[in-house]
Amino acid sequence: MLAASGFLTIGVFLALVLSRRVSVLFALTLVPIAAALLGGHGAGLGELVADGLLTVAPVAIMITFAVLYFSLMIDAGLFDPAVTRILRWAKGDPLKITVGTALLTLLVALDGDGASTFLITVSALLPIYQRLGMRRIVLAGVVCLGAGVMNMVPWGGPTARAMAALELDSAQLFLPVLPAMFAGICWVLVAAYLIGRSERKRLGVVSIEVGERARLTGADRVRFWINAALTLALVGCLLFQLADLEVLFLVAFLVALLINRPSWQGQQELFAKHAYNVVLVVVVIFAAGVFTGILTGTGMIKAMAESLVAVIPDAGGALLPVVTAIAGMPLSLVFTPDAFYYGVVPVLAETSAALGGDPAAIGRAAILGQMTTGFPLSPLTASTFILLGMSKVDLGDHQRFIFGWAFGTTLVMTAVALLTGVL
């Protein structure tokens, strides 16, 4: 009965989200609360919700200060020199421009926010593509690939959701897949080279002039190098796990704020400009805490996993992470990230644990195959329409053009993950 309630809860949640009848926030909270009340858990509902909120609080804090930090760095022009250098290096060669697009995307996507990545890369590169006669679908596709891989960072949407849903930290989930992520980056560059080569064959090399970037002097120059050093130090501390991620981002943001926006008015302007993005992400993270807290605390997830164990052969447990990784990319066309990570991954992880597997391996497999926020292919993902709207590309054309390359990225990373033993 408990398993049936769990499956029904997830089914209703998925149906509501996929049909777009209600918001994700509404579905993540009201559906499990209704299920708990109908299942006779009303007396302990407050405790279940509180437990769930406590588990996702560190992730929510990390996301808050990560978005604020990188938004501040973008406003401060930290990435402007890289944009200018890539454009100057590429000039009128379609192949170089395509590879430069991939490099720029890989750099800018470090913030883990697909919307800001698309705004920066498409705004900088679309005029060059149009001037050379390059296809806009190439721009959208290559940006899609680069953002998809880089969205695996712990403060990116997929990994943050996986950590929240499975109550894992980045040391358990992200660090083991670093070799696979590096392989994915290499694959993106290879794909960009091959796509760019076809554009060069179609158009040839065109002479083009790239405007000079305004040179920084005095205090602005000093501030730029301080920002660069601070960002490099932050990334190093994140990779070596010198402290909790939420603490690192909090300290780094406060230091960056004092350097770039020391005045009260400047700080208020920053918060007003980026408050919407921060609140939108954090509220959904807390709603996910309600969802997972109720399903875990009532025993629904455990009961669902036990029912799945009864029908899955013993040998199937070892293959479950691989199947999750490979199937995740095609499923991104029909599942939102929230629906997949909060509705499906916990059940798969519990099932894997019951069969003797490592639940963390399911989380790693999920981020290898379900980078839907980074791979803007699904009509259920808002960032898809930001990318396509800015680049003026049709959704169907975009999916047909880049799906094979995106699926190839997942296959390459899954193969490396198997070789390194993290699945």
CA distance 287 to 265: 32
180, 154, 166: which is closest to 360 by C-alpha? 166
Rg (CA), the chain: 22
CA distance 423 to 414: 8
Tens place of pLDDT per residue across the chain (423 aa): 788 888 888 788 878 876 767 777 888 899 999 999 988 888 889 999 998 888 878 878 877 887 788 788 878 888 777 666 766 777 778 998 899 899 988 888 876 666 667 767 777 788 778 777 889 999 999 998 998 888 888 877 788 888 888 878 778 888 888 999 999 999 999 999 999 999 999 988 776 565 555 566 778 888 989 999 998 898 788 767 688 878 888 999 999 999 999 999 999 999 988 887 788 778 877 888 888 888 888 888 777 766 765 666 666 667 888 888 887 777 666 555 766 777 778 878 877 887 777 888 888 888 887 654 445 676 556 567 667 777 878 777 887 888 889 889 989 999 999 999 888
**Model-level pTM greater than 0.75?**
no
Rounded to the nearest 10 degrees, what angle do helices 80-90 and 114-132 cross at?
30
SS3 338: helix
CA distance 16 to 26: 9
Residue type, 89: W
